[in-house]
Structure 1
């Protein structure tokens, strides 16, 4: 993996652009650290869900869409950018609370995979509905082309973040 200094030297970017992106990312991180968007999802469910459990549910849901790849505790740790022992603890809580279940891997019976339960699928549905409703309000007064451009560029940015993390 490259160091931040090495990443800086790979491309020349206008300093005003870097300042604007840094400032925006700090504001996004602060909002996310308060988990202000997750709270309504939790309140909208019939069963209470811990915010860490909701993060596990999101990660398991994301992994299920990746072409039949086994979703393991290691996958959750990678997606949440946490160490495997912490991932193991929060996955265990998600299993105990009934949002996720363990199943034997079809590739390797010794390995345990994670699947959403019906309650977990309800949480995913509630999360998508709540987040998309919020984003609809935020983007609602933007021009349709600006909305599409933002979605395209944000997706491109996230892919670049993923790529930079692998260097």
Structure 2
């Protein structure tokens, strides 16, 4: 609470959400989940898994292919950094560059068989982690959490677009 706010100005729901989000950010900074997603693949860099995830998501509706620019946007990094990480991901055999079918000058990215395997392993590891976390949650609570978290993330995306 700031010096100008009174106890009646503070919304307890917003305080709870803020605290929870702060705790999530701290955990993400430790990259516990990311490291567990590649624990059986020690040669895989977490940044490259993020790139593979971004490519696996596919292009937005109406767009052909995933480009380095789209990877940069999805990972919220500058294009030159995205270009370097994508190049390393290609060098490690997880992605390949392909010419656009509509515009041969445009270069798109696609997963290789090794990239598909890496992203599948990451999905399995993350989902096993979530399964452990949800072990004592009811199916209804799990479904409601998934629904609300998705709604929250969609709202974040809309906020990003409006800025």
TM value normalised by structure 2: 0.88
SS class of match (1:63):
coil
CA deviation vs aligned residue, 1:73-117 (integer Å, no higher than 9, x gap): 001001001111111111011011111110001121101100011
Instruction: Give the greater-gyration-radius structure (CA).
Output: 2
Checking the alignment, whether the CA contact within 8 Å between 2:64 and 2:100 is kept in structure 1 is no
Q: Report what 1:154 is aligned to.
A: 149
Distance 1:131 1:65, change over 3 A: farther
Alignment match of 2:159 (pick from 150, 159, 164): 164
User: 2:17 & 2:89 partners in 1: Cα distance?
Assistant: 35
Consecutive unaligned residues of structure 1, counting only runs of 5 or more, are: 1-12
Q: Report what 1:5 is aligned to.
A: none
Q: Report what 1:44 is aligned to.
A: 40
Alignment match of 1:23 (pick from 19, 29, 33): 19
Cα deviation, residue 40, structure 1: 2.3
Q: Report what 1:62 is aligned to.
A: 57
Q: Report what 1:138 is aligned to.
A: 133
Q: Alpha carbon RMSD of aligned pairs, Å? A: 1.8
Q: Which of structure 1's runs of 4+ aligned residues deviate more than 6 A?
A: none
Q: Report what 2:6 is aligned to.
A: none
33-42 vs 80-89, which moves further:
33-42
Q: Report what 1:90 is aligned to.
A: 85
TM value normalised by structure 1: 0.86
Alignment match of 1:111 (pick from 103, 106, 117): 106
SS class of match (1:43):
coil
Matched residue count: 154
